[in-house]
Amino acid sequence: MKESGYLKDWGIAVLVIVAIKLAWLVIDHTLRLYMGDSMVFLAASERLLSPGARSWLYAWTLHFTSFQLGAPGPVLVAHVIWSIMSCVGLYGFLRHALKLRQWLCVLAAGLLATEPVQIFMERMVLAETFGLLALVCTLLVLSRYLVTGRLGWYWLGVLGGLAAGAIRPNFIPLTLGMAIVAPAILAAAQIRNGSSRGPVWRHAFISLLVLVLSHAGYTWLYGKSVGQPPGYVAHTGMMRIGLVAPLIKPEHFEGTGVSGRLLDEVERDLDDHWQRGHHIWGSDGLWPKLQQASENPEMVARTITRRAMLDDPLGLIRVNLETMNGYFDDKRVYWRMLDDEGQIAPSAPEIRDIKRKLDWDVQGLARSPSPARTWFSRSTQWLTFCLFALAPLSLLALAAGWNRQTRDQSLLLALTGLGMVAGHLLFAHIVSFRYLHAFPWFVFANLAVILSWITGPGTRSSRHGAGT
C-alpha cells in the first residue's frame, strides 16, 4: 500500500516530465554548437584534458557517457536525461521538502520541462544542463542535511557544490554560500527548539572545518594537476581580467615584473565595461599583451586583478549594475541573443575535426532554424523577468512559508535564490541569456510556494517530515 502511494506520488510527475521531453525530442533533435566553447569541450572530452578556462568535469563526463559512441545523438540524450533529473529534483523539493500540494509541484516541474532556455541548452554542447543538475543535487542534499543534522549529508552537499563549481565556475560563490548558510540555519533551528548551545556550536564549527578543508584540498589538487597555484580554474587571472579590466591601474603592476605602462599599449578601450570580454579573447586586449610581456602572464593577471578588486570593491558592483541595464537595451539584446543561439559558424578545419570526432556534419548548422532555437530566441523578456524577479520572489516566498513547519527549507531556497542574483550581479560581465539558464528553476520553485499560499491550506501534513 505504501509502495503504491509512493509510485503514485512520483509516477505522475515523472510521466509528465518525460512525456514533455520526449515530445520536444520528436519536434527538434538538432544538436548545436557554441563557438568556441563547444570546440574546447569536444577536444578536452576526446583526450581527457583539463581546459584551462572551461569545465573539465563536463568534458570528462561527456567522454564516458557519450563520446565513446562516436555520434552526436548520445550527447543530446545525455543532456535530456540530465534535464529530466533537474525537473524531477524540482518536484521532489517542492513536494517533500516544502510539502506543497501535488498539482502545484507537477505544474512547476512540467513548466520547467518545457521552459525555453532549458530546451535549447539541452541541444547545445555546453555545460549548462549538467551544471544545473549538480546545483539542484547540492540543494537537495543540503535540504536533507537540515532534516537529519548529520555531517555525512553536509559533506556530500559540500562535494556537490564543488562538482557544480567544476562544471560551471560561476556557481562556486553560490555553492560556497549555500554551504555556509546551511549549518547556520540548522544551528538557529536547534537553538529555537531548545537544544544546548554547546553541541550546536560545536557541530557548526566542525561543519565549517569540513567546508574549508574540502575546498582547500580540491583547489590544491586541481592546481597541482594543471601546473598552477591552487584555484578552481587554471586560468583564474585571465578570466578575472574579463571581469575587472576597467578597474586595473598602472600601480597594480608594481612588483610583477611588468610595467604599468603596458596599459597604454592596449588598443582596446579599457574603460568601456562592454569590452571586458574582448580583453581576454580579442587580439587587441589586455591578456594578449600580458602574454607578450611576461613569461608567467597568469600570475601577473592574478596579482593585478586581485589588487584592482581590493582597491575598488564597489567599483565592480557599479560597473556590473551598468551592465545589467543592457537587458533593457533592444539592440544589445538582439545581438546577444544571436550569439547565444550559436550563430557563429565553426571554421573549415573545425568542421573537419568535428566530422572526425563524432561523424557529425555541422556544415550550415549555425544558420539553420529549428523549433527549439525559435522558442529560445523569443524568451528574452521571460529570462529578463527571471533575472530581476528572482530576488523579490524569493523574499515573498520566504514570508509565505515563514510560519510553516518547513521554515528551514524555505530559508535555504530563499537564500539560494538571493545568492544566485548576487552572483550574477558580481560576476556576469556581459548581457547573456544562457547565463540565466538556472534562474527559471528557482523562479518556478518560488512561484509554486507563493501560489500555494494564495490558494490557501491543503499542504501535506506534518507527519511526512520536513525534508527531501
Residue 211 lies in a domain: no
Query: In whole numbers, what is the pLDDT of the chain averaged over residues?
Result: 92
Q: Tell me, what DSSP letter sits at residue 32?
A: B
Q: In which residue are the cell numbers 549555425 written?
A: 366
Residue 201 lies in a domain: no
pLDDT of residue 329 exceeding 70: yes
Over residues 434-439, the mean pLDDT reads 97
Pick 276 or 394 by higher pLDDT.
394
Alpha-carbon distance of 41 to 75, in angstroms, equals 12
Q: How confident is the model at residue 138 (pLDDT cuts 50, 70, 90)?
A: very high
Residue 218 lies in a domain: no
Q: How confident is the model at residue 122 (pLDDT cuts 50, 70, 90)?
A: very high
pLDDT of residue 25 exceeding 90: yes
Residue 263 lies in a domain: yes
Q: How confident is the model at residue 435 (pLDDT cuts 50, 70, 90)?
A: very high
Q: Give me the domain span that covers residue 374.
A: 1-150+226-468
What is the reported pLDDT for 282? 85
Q: Is 269 left (phi over 0), alpha (psi -120 to 50) or beta?
A: beta
What is the reported pLDDT for 36? 80
Alpha-carbon distance of 333 to 346, in angstroms, equals 23
Residue 336 lies in a domain: yes
Closest-CA residue to 360 (of 74, 23, 126): 74
Residue 164 lies in a domain: no
Pick 466 or 49 by higher pLDDT.
49
Adjacent-strand bridge partners of 32: 124
Domain count for the chain, please give it: 1
Write out pLDDT tens, residues 276-304.
Answer: 988 998 889 999 999 999 999 999 999 99
Dihedral angle of Cα 436, 441, 443, 448, to the nearest 10 degrees: 170
Write out pLDDT tens, residues 142-168.
Answer: 999 999 999 999 999 999 999 999 999
pLDDT of residue 457 exceeding 80: no
Three-state SS letters, 361-416: CCCCHHHCCCHHHHHHHCCHHHHHHHHHHHHHHHHHHHHHHCCCCCHHHHHHHHHH
What is the reported pLDDT for 180? 97
From the centroid of its chain, how far is CA 179?
15
Question: Would you call 124 helix, strand, or coil by DSSP?
Answer: strand
Residue 157 lies in a domain: no
What is the reported pLDDT for 339? 93
First to last CA, the chain: 21
What is the reported pLDDT for 466? 42
Q: Is the dihedral of CA 259, 264, 270, 275 positive or negative?
A: negative
Q: In which residue are the cell numbers 544542463 written?
A: 129
Residue 23 lies in a domain: yes
